[in-house]
Amino acid sequence: MLILSLNVIKSSCLLIELLELVRKSFVFLDRRINEIKSVIVDIAKQYMEKVDNEEEMQYLLLEKDLDNRDSLNIIYDFEVA
């Protein structure tokens, strides 16, 4: 579930998770979902490029959501690259 978070990476991952749930219900939106997913991934990549220390990157990638998953789990589960 997407909640208010200052963690751009976690929010991006949760948005992608929601998009994949929409894709399952509305297959005809596949192309548009891919476009939106690409934009979200690009924003997350740009943000990650600006992170200048290891501690901040570790926080961004390992902060848990309400289901006790970190961004790395979600990136793996939904094959975000």
pTM for the predicted model, two decimal places? 0.82
Give 13-38 pLDDT, tens digit per residue: 999 999 999 999 999 999 999 999 99
Token pair in block for residue 1 = 């579930």
Q: Are 60 and 51 in contact (CB under 8 A)?
A: yes
Query: What pLDDT score was predicted for residue 46?
Result: 93
pLDDT at 3: 59
Where in the chain are the domains?
A: 8-77
Distance CA 13, CA 33 (A): 14
pLDDT on residue 15: 92
Judge contact between 71 and 9, C-beta under 8 A.
yes
**More confident position, 27 or 80:** 27
| Chain segment 30-66, per-residue pLDDT in tens | 999 999 999 999 999 999 999 999 999 998 888 888 8
